[in-house]
Amino acid sequence: MNLNKATILGNLTHDPEVRTFGTGQSVTTFSVATNAAWRDARSKTLKQSTEFTPVVAWGKLGSIVGQYARKGDRLYIEGRLATRQWEGKDNVKRSRTEVVAQNVIFLGSARKGAKPTAVSATEAPVEGDLSRVPVAAV
């Protein structure tokens, strides 16, 4: 049995970018910053590191993230890891590993009145209608 599952809890590093293809399919890309802290065994000093994880959300889920999420917002994301490969215009092969979001929970924002809200790729509400989105128990 195999399992490909990624869970990220962090803050958006920039506003999500939404693109729509000629077929009507939309994709939203964004990056989430997560951090870790530990005490160095030798020097006993506190160390920190930050990781920036690229995330892709397709369809209605991506549209909702693009419409409601903003830089600095705290998100909980469940999805799977995927690696894309392509060849650039300079004929150099490139690859990128990213999280393909399947569930997103909006945990909070610097904006007043923001409440935790869960959105699933399989149960995404009609675009712009967050009234049907279940509130997450955080």
* Dist CA 70 CA 74 (whole Å): 9
* pLDDT digit string (tens) for the chain, length 138 residues: 999 999 999 999 999 999 998 898 899 999 999 999 989 889 989 999 999 999 999 999 999 999 999 999 999 999 999 999 989 889 999 999 999 999 999 987 755 555 556 666 655 444 344 444 433 333
pTM of the entire structure? 0.76
* Dist CA 19 CA 57 (whole Å): 11
* Dist CA 112 CA 110 (whole Å): 6
Sketch the domain layout of the chain as residue ranges: 6-37+47-132
CATH superfamily of 6-37+47-132: Nucleic acid-binding proteins (2.40.50.140)
* R_g of the chain computed on alpha carbons: 17
Q: Which residues partner with 63 through β-bridges?
A: none
